[in-house]
Amino acid sequence: MSRAASIALGLILCGAWFVPARPAPSLVVKSDDVVSGHPGLTYLDLVRELAPDLALNRSDGQIEGHSKTLPRHLGGGADDDAPDPLVLGFMQARRVRVAGRPRIALIADLGQPPDQVATATVLLLFDDAPRPRLLDAAQVSSAEDTEFDNALLRLSPGDDAVVVYNEHSDADLSLGSYTIVSLTGDRLGMIDRFPVSSERACGWSDIETTTFTTAPDPGRPYRRIDVAVSADFKRAPDDCGSSPIPKGRSGVYRAAFRWRPAHRRFEAIFDGLKRLEAVDRAIFQ
C-alpha cells in the first residue's frame, strides 16, 4: 500500500474526519406530476427531452414512445438496443447542485430491452432554469429495480454526487449494486460501481450494509469519498438444511476515492471492496 493510501486508511479508521452523507430522500413521481417550482411543467415533459414522442397509448394505458438507441451506459460496454416501444415506468426525482447551481436529477425506467435482464433505466440531469434543459443522460441499470439511494454526497459547498442502487431479489436472496455518480461539469460520470449481497438461509445469514461518507481533502476542490460495507455473517443455532454452511465471516470492507485534477475525475486511493467481491463469490455462487 502506498504512503498516501496508508494515511487515508488511518484517517478512516480513526473516524475523526468522517462526515456522513446527508440523507436526502428522493421523490417518487408520476408522469403527470408537476415539477416543483415549474407550474405547468410535468415530469413527462422532462423525459420528452430525451424521447420526444412519448405519449399515452389509450389501448393499454401506458406512456409509450420510440427510439433506435439509448444513451451511453455509465458502466461502459456496448449500448443496448432500446425497447420497442419505450414504456415509461418508475420515476424518481431529486434536487442537486453542480458548481453552486441548482439541478434536477431524474431516474426514468423506459422499459425492458430485448433479451436483457436489466431495465432500460436512465439518469437524466437538467438545469433548474425557468424552462429546464437536459444537460446529460446515461443508463444506470444493471438489474430489475433501479432507484436513488438516500445518500447524497456533498463534495463541496456547491457540488453533490448521487448514488444509484440496483437490486434483484429472489426469495431470501438480494443481489444488489451501488453506483456512485459524479455530476461535475454537468456531465454524468461513474466514480465506482460495486456489488453487495444479502441472504437469509437455513443455518446461516449474511447481511451487508453500506455507508457513504466524505472527508476534507486538503489542496483539492472536492472532498474525498469513503465507502464502508459491513458484512454480518451469522450461524443459526440449528441447521435446518442439508446444504453445507458456507465459510463466511463478518468484516468491514472499505474504499476511498479522491479527485485527480490532472485526469479531471475521481479515482480510487485504495479499494478493499474487491476483497468483498471475492468473499461474496465464495458464499453466494
Least confident of 40-44, 116-120, 249-253: 116-120
> Among 232, 231, 225, which Cα is nearest to 271's?
225
**With 50 as the cut, is the pLDDT of residue 4 above it?**
no
Confidence of residue 147 (pLDDT cuts 50, 70, 90): very high
Confidence of residue 241 (pLDDT cuts 50, 70, 90): low
What is the pLDDT at residue 235?
83
What is the pLDDT at residue 267?
97
Phi, psi (rounded to 5 degrees) for 117? -85, -40
Grid cell in block for residue 86: 419505450
What is the pLDDT at residue 214?
97
| Cα gap 143→210, rounded to integer Å | 18
**For range 152-156, the mean pLDDT:** 96
**With 70 as the cut, is the pLDDT of residue 13 above it?**
no
Confidence of residue 8 (pLDDT cuts 50, 70, 90): very low
| Cα gap 179→101, rounded to integer Å | 23
**For range 253-278, the mean pLDDT:** 94
In degrees to the nearest 10, what's the CA dihedral of 88, 93, 98, 101?
Answer: 110
In degrees to the nearest 10, what's the CA dihedral of 26, 30, 34, 40?
Answer: 150
What is the pLDDT at residue 2?
41
Phi, psi (rounded to 5 degrees) for 41? -110, 125
- The answer to whether 125 touches 132, Cβ cutoff 8 Å, is no
Every domain of the chain and the residues it spans: 3-284
pTM comes to: 0.87
Q: What are the strands, taking DSSP E only, across 7-76?
A: 19-20, 22-23, 27-29, 55-57, 62-65
Least confident of 1-5, 39-43, 192-196: 1-5
Grid cell in block for residue 6: 496508508
**With 70 as the cut, is the pLDDT of residue 282 above it?**
yes
Higher pLDDT, 159 or 250: 159
What is the pLDDT at residue 285?
62
What average pLDDT does the chain have? 87
Tens digit of pLDDT for each residue in 88-125? 999 999 999 999 999 999 999 999 887 787 899 999 99
What is the pLDDT at residue 3?
37
Tens digit of pLDDT for each residue in 187-236? 999 999 999 988 888 888 889 999 999 999 999 999 999 999 999 988 87
Residue 204: Cβ within 10 Å count: 19
Confidence of residue 12 (pLDDT cuts 50, 70, 90): very low
What is the pLDDT at residue 11?
38
| Cα gap 268→192, rounded to integer Å | 8
